[in-house]
Structure 1
Amino acid sequence: MDLSLWLALATAALLISLTPGAGAVNTMSNALNVGFRRSIWGIMGQQAALVVHVIIVALGLGVLVSHSPILFNVIRYAGAAYLVFLGIRQFMSRPVEDATAQATLAGEPGWSMFRRGMWVNLLNPKAIVFFLAFLPQFIRPDQPLVAQYSVVAVTVVVIDITVMWFFFALAAKSVRNFTRSAKGQRILNRCFGVLFVLLGGGLAILH
C-alpha cells in the first residue's frame, strides 16, 4: 500500500473512531467504573471485534450478511438486545458509597471487560456492511491481499485504541471525581444507561 493511500485510510479510520457510538459509550463507562488505565481491557475487546469484522469482509462473508435479510436481522436484534441489557443494568446500578465497595467495583476482571467490549462491537451487522463498503476503497486487487488487509487491520486497530483510550477514556477520567458521591454515581449510571438503551434502540429500528 503506497503512502498516499495509507494516509487516506488513516484519515478515514480516525474520523470513524471519533464518531461517538457504542464503543465510545462502553469505553467511557469502563473508565468511570474501573479507571483510565484498566479501561484498556474493554478497548482491546472492541479491537478484537474489529479484527473479526475485517476478516469477515476479507473472506467475503460480509457479502452474505449484507445480502441475507434474515441473517442481518438476527445479528442486528441480538446486538440491540445486548446494548439494551447493558443499559438497563447500568441504569439500575446502585451507588457505591464506601471505599471498600468502590475498590471491589474497580476490581472487575480484565477478561470480563474484554468480553463485553468484544460483544458490543461484534454484534453490530452494520459494522460488517460498513467495512464491506469501506475497505475495498483501500484494497488493490493486483497486489497481495493478505498483506493489504493486514495493513488495514493494524491501522484501524491502532487508531481506534488511541482514540478510545486517549480521547474517550481520558474525557471520562476528567469527571471521575464526580463518581465519589452517591448522587454523582446515580446520575452517571442513568446517563450511560440511557445512552446504551438509545444505541440499542437505534440499532433495532434504523435500516
Structure 2
Amino acid sequence: MQLSLWLALAGAGVLISLTPGAGAINTMNNSLTSGFRRSIWGILGQQVALIAHVIVVALGVGVLVAGSPVLFNVIRYAGAAYLVFLGIRLLLQQPTAARSATSVTVRESAWSMFRRGLWVNLLNPKALVFFLAFMPQFIRPEQPLLPQYLVLTVTVVAIDIVVMWLLFAAAAKSFQRFTNTVRGQTILNRVFGSLFIAVAALLALIH
C-alpha cells in the first residue's frame, strides 16, 4: 500500500474511532468500574469483533448481510436488545460501599469484559455496511489482496486501540472520584445505563 493511501486510511481510521458509540461507552464504563489498565480487555474484545467484520466483508458475506433486509434486521435488533440488556443491568446495579480515592474495585473478570466488548461490536450490522463502503476505497484489486487487507486491518485495529484506551478510557479517569461514594456510583450507573439504551434505540430505529 502506497504511503499516501495509508495516510488517508489512518486519517479515516482516527475519525471513525473518535465517533462516539457503544464501544466508547463500554470502554469508559469498564475504565470506571474496573480501572484504566484492566479496561484494555474490553477493548481487545471489540477489536476481535472488528477483525471479524473485516473478514466477513473481505469474503463477500457482508454483501449478503447488507442485501438481505431480514438477516440485517435480525442482527440489528439482536444488537439493540443486547445493548438494552447492558443498560438495564447498569440501571439496576446496586452501588458498592464507599472506598478510598486511590482504590479501584474489580467487579468482573477480564474474560467477562472481553466477551462483552466482543458482542457490543459484533452485533452491529451497521459496521458491516460501513466496512463495505469503507474498505474498497483503500483496496487496489490489481495488487495482491491479502497484504492490503492485512495492512488495513492492523491499521484500523491499532488506531482503535489507541483511541479507545488512551482517549476514552483515560477520559473516564476524570470521573473516578464519583466511584468513591454510593451516590456517585448510582449517578454513573444511571448515566451509562441510559447511554447504552439510547445507542440501542438509535441502532434499532435509524436505517
Quickly name the TM-score band, shorter chain normalised. over 0.9
**Total equivalences in the alignment:** 205
Distance 2:98 2:130 in 1: 44
1:30-57 CA deviation, whole Å, 9 max, x = no partner? 0000000000000000000000000001
- For the pair 1:126 / 2:107, whether they are aligned, the reply is no
- Work out whether 1:185 is the aligned partner of 2:185: yes
Instruction: Indicate the residue corresponding to 1:140 in structure 2.
Output: 140
**Residue 18, structure 1, aligned to residue 22, structure 2:** no
Q: Distance in 2 between matches of 1:169 and 1:85?
A: 22
Aligned sequence identity (%): 68
4+ long deviations beyond 3 Å: none
How big is each residue's C-alpha offset from its partner over 1:131-166, in whole Å with a ceiling of 9 and x where there is no partner?
000000000001111110010000000000000000
Q: What is the CA distance between 1:177 and its match in structure 2?
A: 1.5
Q: Match of 1:5, as an amino acid?
A: L
CA distance in 1, matches of 2:179, 2:98: 12
- TM-score, normalised to structure 1, is 0.96
Residues 143 and 155 from structure 1, CA distance in 2 versus in 1: closer, same or farther, beyond 3 angstroms? same
SS in 1 for 2:141: coil
User: In the TM superposition, what whole-angstrom CA distance separates every residue of 1:112-143 from its partner, at most 9, and x where no partner exists?
Assistant: 10000000000000000000000000000011
Could you tell me how far 1:175 is from its partner in structure 2?
1.2
1:1-207 map, 5 Å: 1-99=1-99, 105-207=105-207
- TM-score, reference length from structure 2: 0.96
Superposition CA RMSD, Å: 1.4
Alpha-carbon separation, structure 2, partners of 1:108 and 1:95? 14
Q: Is the 8 A contact 2:33 2:104 kept in 1?
A: no
**Runs (5+) with no aligned partner, structure 2:** none
Query: Aligned equivalents of 1:146 and 1:47: distance in 2?
Result: 19
Distance in 2 (alpha carbons) for counterparts of 1:162 and 1:145: 26
Query: CA 1:165 to 1:172, structure 2 compared with 1: closer, same or farther past 3 Å?
Result: same
2:64 alignment partner AA:
L
SS in 2 for 1:175: helix
Deviations 1:78-108 (A, max 9, x none): 0000000000001111111155xxx895151
Q: 1:190: how far off? A: 0.1
